[in-house]
Amino acid sequence: MQNNDNDILERLKHPEREPERRRTGRNLFLRNVLNAVFMIMAVAAMVGIAVNWDSREDAMWCYILGLLAVVVKMAEALLRMPDLLKKPQQPRKRY
């Protein structure tokens, strides 16, 4: 069974959805980049905390990096909800 998004007949029936499909591709690329940045920052923060666990050196940069990684992940999660920022449409009045 084919997915409705890739079914050519479904795409021909609903050409108005084509811009949304294209936007999803760009959105997916940005989400993947943000996920990669998040993972790198999170691993660097965890390694920094592990290295500085018993030392007297200040490990505050590790905690700050971890918090920044969480902010990046929250931004990526917002991109999963494209309808969140749209204005709600008013229902049409029927006479």
pLDDT digits (tens, 9 = 90+) for 6-27: 677 777 777 777 776 666 677 8
In a domain, 90, yes or no: no
Give residue 57's domain range. Answer: 8-80
Per DSSP, 84 falls in state G
- Residue type (1 letter), 17: R
Rounded to 10 degrees, the C-alpha dihedral 31/36/42/43 comes to 160
Report the predicted TM-score, pTM, of the whole model to 2 decimal places: 0.64
**What's residue 6's pLDDT?**
60
pLDDT at residue 43 greater than cutoff 90:
yes
Query: Which of 18-22, 34-38, 49-53, 72-76 bottoms out in mean pLDDT, i.e. has the lowest?
Result: 18-22
Whether the CB-CB separation of 70 and 41 falls below 8 Å is answered with no
In a domain, 88, yes or no: no
In a domain, 13, yes or no: yes
In a domain, 92, yes or no: no
In a domain, 53, yes or no: yes
In a domain, 17, yes or no: yes
Residue with the bigger pLDDT between 31 and 27: it is 31
**What's residue 1's pLDDT?**
45
Strands (E), the chain: none
